[in-house]
């Protein structure tokens, strides 16, 4: 296929005067999110190998944001007031997830690696690194002693497995 820019047509959301100000692609080719000038979040639906541009934009309810970043397992959002949100319930069958959950901190900008290593610039322009701990059942620990395998599974836990004090920020 010859590389080309394709018009995806007019979005029905443009009728309200909104325009996309950010488009973000996740590490997998079928995960595309956008933010409009009103702070609404959108996800591109039905992206497949057969239809790589997808079919439509769907609103992701629950938050108005200024920035989003995507890893292999998570979508993080920065609200206008600097508060941080993480989208939970994302799976291979539902890329939009279920709900946003506030994460402690107040920031100016975000970046994330494919393995959920979140980086942020705080309100005082200092770099911060987000440390998360993935829950691993004891039985799995016997079979997975390689640190690289532990890293690749970050973010694959359920919401109930993380205690609130497991989420910390480190000044870099």
Per-residue model confidence as pLDDT tens digits over 60-93:
999 999 999 998 888 999 999 999 999 999 888 8
Say if residue 164's pLDDT is above 60: no
pLDDT at 30: 79
Say if residue 109's pLDDT is above 80: yes
Q: Is residue 8 part of a domain?
A: no
Q: Is residue 6 part of a domain?
A: no
Contact assessment for residue 58 and residue 52, using Cβ atoms and an 8 Å cutoff:
no
Q: Is residue 3 part of a domain?
A: no
> Which residues neighbour 131 within 8 Å (Cβ) at sequence distance 6 or greater?
167, 168, 169, 170
Q: Is residue 59 part of a domain?
A: yes
Q: Is residue 73 part of a domain?
A: yes
pLDDT, averaged across the chain: 79
- For the chain, the domain total comes to 1
Q: What is the mean pLDDT of residues 94-107?
A: 93
Say if residue 112's pLDDT is above 80: yes
Q: Is residue 2 part of a domain?
A: no
pLDDT at 153: 36
Where residue 151 falls (left for φ over 0; alpha for ψ -120 to 50; beta otherwise) is alpha
- Closest of 30, 68, 67 to residue 51, by C-alpha: 30
pLDDT at 136: 52
Confidence of residue 106 (pLDDT cuts 50, 70, 90): very high
Q: Is residue 4 part of a domain?
A: no
Query: Could you report the per-residue pLDDT of 18-39, keeping only the tens digit for each?
Result: 899 999 998 877 789 999 999 9
Q: Is residue 154 part of a domain?
A: yes
User: Domain span at residue 163?
Assistant: 13-171
């Amino acid at each position: 296929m010859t590389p080309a820019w394709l018009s995806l047509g007019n979005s029905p959301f443009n009728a309200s005067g909104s325009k996309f100000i950010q488009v973000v692609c996740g590490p997998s080719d079928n995960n595309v999110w956008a933010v409009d000038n009103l702070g609404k979040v959108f996800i591109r639906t039905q992206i497949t190998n057969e239809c790589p541009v997808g079919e439509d934009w769907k609103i992701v309810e629950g938050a108005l944001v200024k920035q989003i970043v995507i890893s292999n397992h998570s979508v993080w959002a920065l609200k206008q007031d600097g508060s941080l949100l993480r989208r939970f319930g994302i799976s291979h069958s539902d890329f939009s997830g279920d709900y946003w959950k506030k994460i402690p901190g107040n920031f100016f900008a975000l970046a994330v690696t494919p393995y959920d290593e979140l980086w942020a610039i705080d309100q005082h322009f200092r770099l911060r690194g987000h440390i998360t701990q993935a829950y691993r059942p004891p039985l799995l620990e016997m079979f997975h002693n390689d640190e690289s395998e532990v890293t690749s599974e970050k973010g694959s836990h359920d919401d109930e497995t993380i205690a609130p004090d497991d989420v910390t920020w480190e000044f870099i």
